Amino acid sequence: MGRPVLLHLRRHHQRGDQRDPPQHHRRAGPRPAPLEAEGTMEFEFTEDQLELQRAVRDILDAEAPPELARAVADGESDGAELWGTLAGLEWPAMALPADAGGLGFGWVELAIVLEELGRHAAPGPFVATVTQFAPLVLEAAGPEDAAVLLSDVAAGRTTGTVAVDEGAGTWDPAGVQATTRRDGDHLVLSGTKHYVVDGATADEIAAVVRLDGEVRVVLVPGSSVQPVEVMPIDPGVRHSTVSLDGVRVPADRLLGRGDATRATRRALEESVAAIAAITLGACQQIFDIINAHAKERIQFGVPIGSFQAVKHKLADMYRDIERARVLVYYAALTLAEDHPDRTLAASMAKAAAGEAQRRCVQDGLQLAGGIGYTWEHDLHLFLRRAKVGELHFGSASHHRRRVARLFLQSGAA
């Protein structure tokens, strides 16, 4: 079912390409009307996007049911079979440019997929590969090099991740201390990276390091590092501490020319928005589970959902989820259009998603009662997926401070 929808959207995209000239690393494709400086903005999906959303949900209902997330949590599966299925449906190629073997969809379409992946607590390397590794390679390498490097990603033959944070939790390349130096026709790396998603399993790691004082990006084979997996909050999203000390790679694995600070920041904006979309999906699933529970759980002869205090908590959860949804898709719009507000929008989305997960995890668990604490109930699968996003690319409080700083710098405050 997924393939016909994707091919239909690809044909639509190719017709659009004939009208619009290619731009630097822009992922052209079906997308909402351009953002306007003033006036209202439309947030409704197109018919193609609604069709994509339905198809993605149907596919994940079949291929990533709660039983898969539970099997991963129980150590009975690593989720690799889902990656194979998604690769067969061309999902890794969705947001990649056509010259890299991709379908060239826009960021709104990618956000639709990410929200559904979060809603299903889907395991596997899709998120790290498509929303972290691929954007950094696209931004740091030249177009021709990126096309070659990402062709295997588009085909689902290669997985990847990024190594940026060094323990501060800010994910700002300006704070990178890890280094690389030239040794003949090789590079020798040094340093330690934290919170590397899929750091123990990814085929390639895009490591952000310093070379002669400049921020640069080096591709490191996953087999050449010694990762230490951290006990996971969510077994479907494993992260590691990765030591780069003594790692040697050919010099041609250095991406691009010149300082990569701006390229890294632009790539991380996409990663931030992606985590926000996944968190949104997990929060929506938590709400759906708890809302259904409130209608079915009987206390004092009536459903608990009829109690005013329960209604208030459900209303607060719904409000925070919808606020996060608006900001996630606003961020997707700014990324699709490469709008100047993309930095601000990504942080707003991450902050709102973080606040939604905090409320949904706390109130959802409280409303579920004792059953919410049991391993046998599915709720914990989605609580974990919602909570794990807070660890990656900055917490909600970090991004709230960032939003405030950006407003002050712009004079909009």
* Domain residue limits, the chain: 2-123, 161-259, 262-410
User: Residue 196 has what pLDDT?
Assistant: 95
Protein fold of 2-123: Butyryl-Coa Dehydrogenase, subunit A; domain 1 (1.10.540)
User: Looking at residue 24, what is its pLDDT?
Assistant: 40
Which pLDDT tens digit goes with each residue over 137-171? 999 998 888 999 999 999 999 999 999 999 877 78
What is the C-alpha separation between 364 and 383, in angstroms, rounded? 9
Question: What percentage of the chain exceeds 90 in pLDDT?
Answer: 74
Q: Read off the pLDDT band of 131 (50, 70, 90).
A: very high
With a CB cutoff of 8 Å and minimum separation 6, the contacts of 292 are: none
Under 8 Å between Cβ of 83 and 156: yes
Cα separation, 380 vs 357, whole angstroms: 13
Q: May I ask the CATH class of domain 161-259? A: mainly beta
Q: Does residue 18 carry a pLDDT above 70?
A: no
Distance CA 365, CA 210 (A): 44
Lowest mean pLDDT among 31-40, 112-121, 312-321, 331-340: 31-40
CA distance 283 to 360: 6
C-alpha–C-alpha distance, residues 204 and 207, integer Å = 9
The pLDDT > 70 percentage for the chain reads 89
Mean pLDDT value across residues 335-350: 96
CA distance 113 to 278: 9
In tens, the pLDDT along 168-206 reads 777 889 999 999 999 999 999 999 999 999 999 999 999
According to CATH, the topology of domain 262-410 is Butyryl-CoA Dehydrogenase, subunit A; domain 3 (1.20.140)
More confident residue, 275 or 81: 275
Residue 17 has pLDDT above 80, yes or no: no
Give the model's pLDDT for residue 41.
Answer: 59
376: nearest Cα among 82, 67, 119, 77: 67
pLDDT at 245: 96
Report the alpha-carbon distance of residue 330 to residue 50 in Å, rounded: 17
Tens of pLDDT, residue by residue over 381-407, are 999 999 998 878 989 999 999 999 999
Single pTM value for the model: 0.89
Rounded to an integer, what distance in angstroms lies between the CA atom of residue 364 and that of residue 266? 34
Q: Tell me the pLDDT tens digit for each residue of 60-113.
A: 999 999 999 999 999 899 888 999 999 999 999 998 988 888 998 999 999 999
Helix, strand, coil share of the chain (percent; to 5): 55, 15, 30
Topology alike, domains 2-123 and 161-259: no
